[in-house]
Structure 1
Amino acid sequence: MKRILPLVLVLLLTACGVRPTDGVISAGPAPAFPGRNQTEMTLYFLLDGRIYPITRATPGVASPESTLRAVVSGPNDEERRRGLDSAVPRSSKVAYNDQLTVFLPVPLADLPKTALDQLSCTTVTSGLWGNLRVVGTDAATSDLVGCPTF
Structure 2
Amino acid sequence: MTLTACGIRPTPILTGAEAPTVSSHSLTIYLVTAGRDGLVRRTRDHTGTVDITTAMNLLLAGPNDEEKKLGLVTELPATSSKAIPVLDVIVMPEDVAPPTTKWGAFQVHCTALASRAKVAGVAPVSDEYCP
Interval containing the TM-score (normalised by the shorter chain): 0.5 to 0.7
Secondary structure, counterpart of 2:42 in structure 1 = strand
**2:93 paired with 1:103:** yes
**2:104 paired with 1:115:** yes
Instruction: Write the distance in 1 (CA, Å) between the matches of 2:40 and 2:50.
Output: 19
With over 3 angstroms needed to count, the CA separation of the structure-2 counterparts of 1:145 and 1:62, relative to structure 1, is farther
Q: How much does 1:97 deviate?
A: 2.4
Residue identity over aligned pairs, in percent, reads 22
Instruction: Write the distance in 2 (CA, Å) between the matches of 1:107 and 1:65.
Output: 17
Across the two proteins, how many residue pairs are aligned to each other?
104
10, 18, 41: which is aligned to 2:27? 41
Q: Is the 8 A contact 1:120 1:144 kept in 2?
A: yes
Give the match for residue 4 of structure 2: none
Unaligned runs of 5+ in 1: 1-37, 135-141
- Give the alignment's TM-score, normalised by structure 1: 0.59
Unaligned runs of 5+ in 2: 1-23
Between Structure 1 and Structure 2, the one with more helix by share is 1
Q: How much does 1:103 deviate?
A: 3.5
Give the match for residue 64 of structure 1: 52
With over 3 angstroms needed to count, the CA separation of the structure-2 counterparts of 1:76 and 1:107, relative to structure 1, is closer
**2:102 paired with 1:85:** no
Higher normalized contact order (CA 8 Å, seq sep 6+, divided by chain length)? 2
- Give the alignment's TM-score, normalised by structure 2: 0.66
Secondary structure, counterpart of 2:92 in structure 1 = strand
Residue 84 of structure 1 aligns to which amino acid in structure 2?
L
Give the match for residue 133 of structure 1: 120
